[in-house]
Amino acid sequence: MGTAKSVLKAVSDAMPLTGAKDIKLNRQNFSVTGMSCAACKARIERAVMKVPGVISVSVQLLQNAMTVIFDERKCSAATIVAAVEHAGYGATPVTSTQQLHQADDSEVSTRHKKLLGSIVLTVLIMLLSMGPMVGLNVIPMAEANAYGQMGLCLMVIALNSHYFSNGFKALLHLGPNMDSLVAVGAGASFLASAISVMYIGPDENAATLHHNHYLYFESVATILTLVSVGKFFESKAKLKAINAISALYDLAPESVVVRRPKNQACPAAPKGPKAAKEPAAKKEQAARKEKAAPKDATGAGATDSAYEEVSVPLEMVQVGDEVVLRSGDRVGVDGVVIEGSGYFDESALTGESAQVKKEVGGQVLSATYLRHGYVVFKAQRVGSDTTLAQIIALVDDANSKKAPIARLADKVAFYFVPAVIAIAIITSLIWLALGAPATQALTFAVSVLVVSCPCALGLATPTAIMVATGRAAALGVLFKSPEALEKLAAVDTMVLDKTGTITVGKMQVVSADLADSSYDRAEILALAAALESRSEHPIAAAIVSYCQEQQPKLERPELQHFATLQGQGVSAQVKGTTWYLGSRSLLEQVMGTDAPSSTQSARFTSVYLFTAEQVLAQFALGDELKEGAANMVTALRSLGVSPVMLSGDNQGVVAAVAQDAGIVAARGECMPQHKSECLTALRANAHNVAMMGDGINDAPALASADVGISLSGSTDIAKSCADIVLMQDKLGRLVDAVQLSRLTLRNIKENLFWAFCYNVICIPLAAGVFYVSFGLELNPMIAALLMSLSSLCVVSNALRLRRLSLAVNGSSNVTGAEQELKAQLEGLKLTAITPIKSEEVTMKKELQVAGMSCQHCVRAVTKALSALEGVDSVEVTLETGKVVVTGSENMASDEAIKAAITEEGFELKSIA
């Protein structure tokens, strides 16, 4: 919505009022094919923005998707597709964002098969080309050996032909990318080798092949294979990114059960404010005629109810429909409970493990599900207005804005490849102009292309990343993409979720204070377990579990007169004594005194076991801090990363946990959109932000952050949205990941520096700049050797990452930046969550009135009853004498109604 508003504002600012009034905006999603790097993304955006009528365009590289907002009067989807195709790519309009997120693993599978084939063929080429050097002469004849290498190399090229097709296509469109770099280098090496094969004599031996001829087939195969390794992991990352939102859609049920009056069609959605008022109210009154009917064993209406339950697709649910939920049912729309009660699992939204009880008037949200109970709720938000739909929109929007960091090699490729080709052409022309033979001029030109083959440049980044990700995997850290390594190195703010991330994430008894009394410990625990064993509340389950752990052979006493005290606890009699187990308010109500306090009271939920005369036990329930959490915070500070905590829990608990962990900046009571807003605000203040979370409620924030991090026990959604997954439940691995990413980025810069220096020195040598003066010449064979040495240096430097220490040294004091973050979070005004107004409780009374004979009688009865307190409407049926009075829970008493009827001269036969 914010994007649409900003676009409309931009249009109105840029156009005259009359033009802005007539503008007809359309937002269209496209599936894009042929992209391989950030340069492709930028080129498509530039091409589409040139189309008249296009207001904005956003290309998502990972999702292979594009979103365009354009003026339908000036262009169409077909025009945009044509612009993308003209740029050298493909585009197809899609009807919904869900189409973009249909996971398809065919690309990953195809790349995997091609990679395996390339590795096998490259090994065979190495065996033929380098085997004779170590006495392994598989094919002794030089000519046959060379043709064998060329044939195997052609097979590798065929398996990786997309690099050449995409690379040369990009060159033709004057936009070289990484594929162009690979295609030119590998192509030049293959061409020079193929020409050399033509001059091999029939009697030559393979042992002297490399001394007499310029063959670089193994270099071509190695370049293509190593680059394919990186591309394979990139395609897996794309699939994970698509699965992220696809999994979010799976949270909504395909169909829901709607309750309607029998023999009544589904009411149409109201057309306006007036239609949503009186007619809807009357229909609702009629639909609830049998609400007081007895319930069957399942909690549903009895079989003689006037209602029928119909299963309808989720898309068909309308505002005002009554949706039925039974234990285990997922909630597809938002609404308000109008009948029944039950415990809901809202961990998808809040991240909190404790189940929430909802009764009449309680708010029900999509993406949650009913764990226990029977509930009927009235739909008030459907379609794109539901909570789940808004979360999906947040994740989708964040992904569309989070462009990957363009690799330095891609940036250099834009200038480097054309420059090298130009240098090669100029070199041959100059030597021809100087009178050199054509073969010598061609040798210098080929030497320039071969020596500048981007092997070192192409290996600089992927080799370091492969070594780093391998070491990270051994540590239990999964980096999903190279971008994750690059971005994590620059992070200066680490946002942490509480439940399940910093804490264990499971409601449990933290401590139990047992008072001195005539009852021993075993008797107290047995009493507590017996009382809570009949309750389905999560707190009850935690207490029962605790008691059983403390006393495995509990002998629970027999309970009499067991009762559930709504919202406060339970009570029962044991041997004539009434026992209570419940909240502080229940204790104060029963005993008439203040509840005992302890150091745990302010930090955890307290539950008391007591009688009317004494308190026997105080159970403190909460979520324990994970092992290593405080050490992780200290280490992050040492690395210059400021820790921040955001949680959906109440502010008091969040502050207590933050204090235990040593975190200064923390904020509680954050809904999913609030976390996303906080991260956006931090990033707007020039912070590089990482987010670590484990729940579905963290998905928007994980997608909004520069780097998203999840844990091994996280939900599938959180893992899919995250860029990094800690495969072990060890928070210290987060520090290792940050340190490793920084070392890797430094290593990449060292590799790129060497690769650039190598080219600056070797290209002039290969071009023959020092040939006339000093006789220095690089023939293609020496050029290939230097190229191999440059690659060896880069690989050797990258392998150092396996041995570098990840120990963290430095100060860990609270910094001024953390104090600023604290002030910023406290002063941040988050979007107010508009609550669904609870439906007022209505009362209905049916009267049987005698003595009415005409419409004047009807008006008299209607007027008399309408004047009573709390009466909203009166419906009189003259023929049967039936009068239906509807009003609030404060409606006048039966005596007052009878008096009003009698005063008008009529007789009240019955009232129900």
Which residues are identified as catalytic? Answer: 497
Q: Which residues of 323-338 are buried (b: 16+ CB within 10 A; e: fewer)?
A: bbbbeebbbbbbbbbb
Nearest C-alpha neighbor of 734 from the set 505, 502, 466: 502
CA 232, 238, 240, 246 dihedral sign is: negative
Q: Is 813 exposed, middle or buried (0-12, 13-18, 19+ CB in 10 A)?
A: exposed
| Contact (CB, 8 A) for 252 and 332 | yes
Those residues with Cβ within 8 angstroms of residue 123's Cβ, 6 or more apart along the chain or in another chain: none
**Tokens representing residue 855 in the block:** 């419409």
Beta-bridge partners for 691? 495, 708
CA trace torsion 661, 662, 664, 667 (10° rounding): 10
Question: Around 358, how many Cα atoms within 13 Å sit in the side-chain half-sphere?
Answer: 27
Cβ contact 177:39 at 8 Å: yes
Give the whole-angstrom CA distance, residue 831 versus residue 833: 6
Provide the β-strand partners of residue 301.
295
**Residue 520 near residue 554 (C-beta atoms within 8 A):** no
Find residue 324's DSSP bridge partners. Answer: 257, 376
> ∠74-57-75 over CA atoms, to 5°?
15
* Radius of gyration of the chain from its Cα atoms, rounded to whole angstroms: 37
Question: What is the C-alpha separation between 384 and 380, in angstroms, rounded?
Answer: 12
Paired strand residues for 336: 363, 378
For residue 363, the cross-strand partners are 336
Residue with tokens 């690799």: 407
The H or E element that residue 379 is part of is strand 369-381
In whole angstroms, what is the distance from residue 728 CA to residue 731 CA? 8
- Residue type at 908 in one-letter notation: L
CA atoms within 13 A on the CB side of 771: 19
Helix (H) or strand (E) holding 525: helix 521-532
Residue 238's contacts (CB-CB under 8 Å, 6 or more residues apart) are: 62, 63, 64, 107
3-class DSSP state of 333: coil
Is the Cα torsion angle 884, 889, 890, 895 positive or negative in sign? positive
Spatial contact of 324 and 312, defined as CB atoms under 8 Å apart: no
Residue closest to 677 by CA, chosen among 476, 562, 829: 829
Close Cβ partners of 617 (under 8 Å, ≥ 6 residues apart): 512, 513, 514, 515, 524, 528, 608, 609
CB burial readout 606-645, b (16+ within 10 A) else e = bbbbbeeeebbbbbbbbbebbebbbebbbbbbbbebbbbb
Among candidate residues 842, 752, 783, 20, the one with its CA nearest the CA of residue 412: 752
**Count of H-run helices and E-run strands, the chain:** 32, 28
Block residue for tokens 């340069």? 39
β-pairing verdict for 560-565 and 369-381: unpaired
The answer to whether the Cα torsion of 368, 371, 373, 374 is positive or negative is positive
Place of tokens 């169409």: 76
- Closest to 64 measured CA to CA, from 235, 246, 218: 235
